[in-house]
């Protein structure tokens, strides 16, 4: 990996994974300049990266990746050489009730970013060492049954939710821009992340916050759906490897080799909270578990074969799921100042619309 200073644009940097990536990148590449572009949707939280923002090294711009004039200006003024593109609408349940925003950001926003970066790259004489990393998901591959081999880079696309379809479309755009225009684009497809700064609509942070507030924990269907969990810092280390060492035009699958059924995961979280949280309104926490109506089209199982990134880029997860979940629980217990302000009226309305009927 080269240590020449880079000018890096991280989109979605006030969100969960990209926020963690800003922290990671700032600590391991202190000579690089980082510009964060984030629209601050409901999922964006400036507090995630606020302590890092300083005019010389890390700057924050509130704006939409679909705003071509804004993106053109940012790329040129900051002489951006590398893009890590993570801005997205990311929640499957919201894509089922309101798919429009997913097409606008994930498809059209990615298109705008690719076009702006292409113009910027051409104007600089098509440098061969510039990079655009498009960060995507394993959900583009569809759903596995128990016993099926895990997804890898040759698995055909079969997206099944509006979210997954929008990410699949954006992956195809990213690869087409590399193939047609020679733009130095890389694509990564990762399994479920967890860790600090995760918005409490996703299963793990929702479970933790509900336990702290004594509210029911909704488990969809019979709880037997399986996800492959990866600690977010391990994902950030993988993204760093791909961005700096990956081959343009290539795709890298990233996963934790940690398949866990949802009900088992929730039980582990309940036990950790019983052990680590001093005061809980309901104890044992597992009394809060409620099996509720299933997510429409709920994918049964995801699993990733990460052989390529391990063999070609030397990446392996460092954090076991036992250790990562313990760290995550401890982080939420130690940082109420991060998550309490998120429990707004909008958030309450969202929960009401998602869960009221299911929990009735
Ligand atoms: P997130 O919802 O926590 O964060 C998304 C961020 O993007 C937010 O800060 C939001 O304000 C910003 N954003 C949304 N629309 C925007 C727009 N039009 N312009 C600029 N900013 C905008 O998402 P996340 O879970 O951190 O996921 C980040 C990326 O990683 C996504 O592309 C997602 O598809 C992918 N991914 C996520 C996971 C996971 O488990 N969370 C796994 C694999 C891949
Ligand atoms: O696989 C990668 C994907 O992981 C990312 O691309 C997505 O952006 C990310 O949100 C995540 O998608 P999931 O749908 O797998 O995550 P979620 O946390 O929403 O749900 C995890 C599992 O838990 C899933 O099987 C649905 C279930 N679930 C979820 C919620 C929110 C419940 O049982 N109850 C819940 O309340």
318 contacts: CB under 8 Å, gap ≥ 6: 231, 233, 234, 237
**Ligand nearest to the Cα of 207, by number:** 2
Active site residue 352: no
Work out the percent of the chain whose per-residue pLDDT is above 90: 95
Which residue is closest in CA terms to ligand 2's atom 16?
202
Give the residue-averaged pLDDT of 88-111: 98
301 contacts: CB under 8 Å, gap ≥ 6: 143, 144, 145, 146, 148, 225, 226, 227, 259
Domains by residue range for the chain, with CATH: 7-199+232-256+303-318 (3.40.50.720)
**Mutation test residue for ligand 2: of 43, 141, 192, the one with most atoms within 8 Å of CB:** 192
| Whether residue 202 has pLDDT greater than 50 | yes
Atom of ligand 2 nearest to the CA of 302: 1
**pLDDT tier for residue 7 given thresholds of 50, 70 and 90:** very high
**pLDDT tier for residue 359 given thresholds of 50, 70 and 90:** confident
Give the residue-averaged pLDDT of 228-238: 98
Which of the following is catalytic: 64, 138, 171, 240? Answer: 138
Q: Whose structure tokens read 């940097």?
A: 13
Instruction: Tell me what pLDDT residue 156 has.
Output: 98
| Whether residue 225 has pLDDT greater than 90 | yes
Instruction: Tell me what pLDDT residue 3 has.
Output: 55
Give the residue-averaged pLDDT of 193-218: 98
C-alpha 179 chain-centroid distance: 25
C-alpha 281 chain-centroid distance: 31
**Is residue 82 a contact partner of residue 243, using CB atoms and an 8 Å limit?**
yes
**pLDDT tier for residue 2 given thresholds of 50, 70 and 90:** very low
Give the tens place of pLDDT for each residue, 101-141.
999 999 999 999 999 999 999 999 999 999 999 999 999 99
| Whether residue 321 has pLDDT greater than 70 | yes
257 contacts: CB under 8 Å, gap ≥ 6: 228, 304, 306, 317
Which of the following is catalytic: 32, 64, 89, 139? Answer: 139
Ligand 1 pocket, residues with Cβ under 6 angstroms: 11-12, 14-18, 37-41, 43-44, 64-66, 86-90, 105, 109, 135-137, 167, 190, 192-193, 199
227 CB under 6 A from ligand 2? yes
Instruction: Tell me what pLDDT residue 56 has.
Output: 86
**Is residue 43 a contact partner of residue 35, using CB atoms and an 8 Å limit?**
no
**Mutation test residue for ligand 2: of 203, 258, 297, the one with most atoms within 8 Å of CB:** 203
For helices 262-276 and 321-334, the axis angle rounded to 10 degrees is 50
| Whether residue 74 has pLDDT greater than 80 | yes
**pLDDT tier for residue 73 given thresholds of 50, 70 and 90:** very high
Considering the chain, what is the average pLDDT of its residues?
97
Work out the percent of the chain whose per-residue pLDDT is above 70: 98
Lowest mean pLDDT among 52-56, 134-138, 182-186, 274-278: 52-56
Give the residue-averaged pLDDT of 327-333: 98
Give the residue-averaged pLDDT of 248-254: 98
Which of the following is catalytic: 38, 64, 163, 355? Answer: 163
Give the tens place of pLDDT for each residue, 31-72.
999 999 999 999 999 999 999 999 789 999 999 999 999 999
Instruction: Tell me what pLDDT residue 337 has.
Output: 98
* Cα angle 14-252-323, degrees, rounded to a multiple of 5: 60
Active site residue 163: yes
**Ligand nearest to the Cα of 265, by number:** 2
**pLDDT tier for residue 355 given thresholds of 50, 70 and 90:** confident
């Amino acid at each position: 990996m080269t240590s020449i200073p880079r000018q890096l644009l991280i989109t979605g940097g006030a969100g969960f994974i990209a926020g963690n990536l800003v922290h990671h990148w700032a600590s391991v590449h202190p000579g690089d300049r980082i510009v964060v572009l984030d629209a601050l949707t409901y999922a964006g939280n400036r507090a995630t990266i606020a302590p890092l923002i300083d005019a010389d090294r890390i700057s924050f711009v509130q704006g939409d990746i679909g705003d071509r004039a804004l993106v053109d200006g940012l790329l040129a003024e900051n002489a951006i050489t590398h893009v890590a593109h993570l801005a997205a609408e990311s929640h499957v349940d919201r894509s089922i009730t309101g798919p429009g925003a997913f097409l606008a950001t994930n498809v059209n926003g990615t298109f705008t970013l690719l076009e702006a970066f292409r113009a910027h790259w051409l104007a600089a004489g098509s440098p061969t060492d510039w990079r655009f990393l498009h960060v995507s998901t394993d959900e583009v591959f569809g759903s596995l049954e128990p016993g099926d081999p895990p997804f890898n880079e040759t698995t055909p696309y079969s997206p099944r939710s509006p979210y997954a379809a929008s990410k699949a479309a954006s992956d195809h755009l990213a690869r087409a821009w590399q193939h047609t225009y020679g733009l130095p684009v890389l694509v990564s497809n990762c399994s479920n992340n967890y860790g600090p700064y995760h918005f409490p609509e996703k299963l793990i942070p929702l479970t933790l916050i509900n336990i702290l507030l004594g509210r029911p924990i909704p488990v969809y269907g019979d709880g037997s759906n399986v996800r492959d969990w990866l600690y977010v810092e391990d994902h950030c280390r993988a993204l760093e490897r791909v961005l700096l060492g990956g081959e343009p035009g290539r795709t890298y699958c990233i996963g934790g080799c940690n398949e866990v059924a949802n009900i088992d995961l929730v039980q582990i979280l309940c036990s950790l909270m019983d052990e680590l949280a001093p005061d809980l309104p309901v104890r044992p926490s597992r009394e809060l578990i409620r099996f509720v109506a299933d997510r429409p089209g709920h994918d049964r199982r995801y699993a990733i074969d990460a052989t390529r990134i391990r063999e070609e880029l030397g990446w392996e997860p460092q954090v076991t799921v036992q250790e990562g979940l313990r760290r995550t629980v401890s982080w939420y217990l130690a940082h109420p100042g991060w998550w309490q302000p998120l429990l707004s009226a909008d958030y309450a309305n969202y929960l009401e619309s998602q869960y009221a009927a299911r929990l009735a």
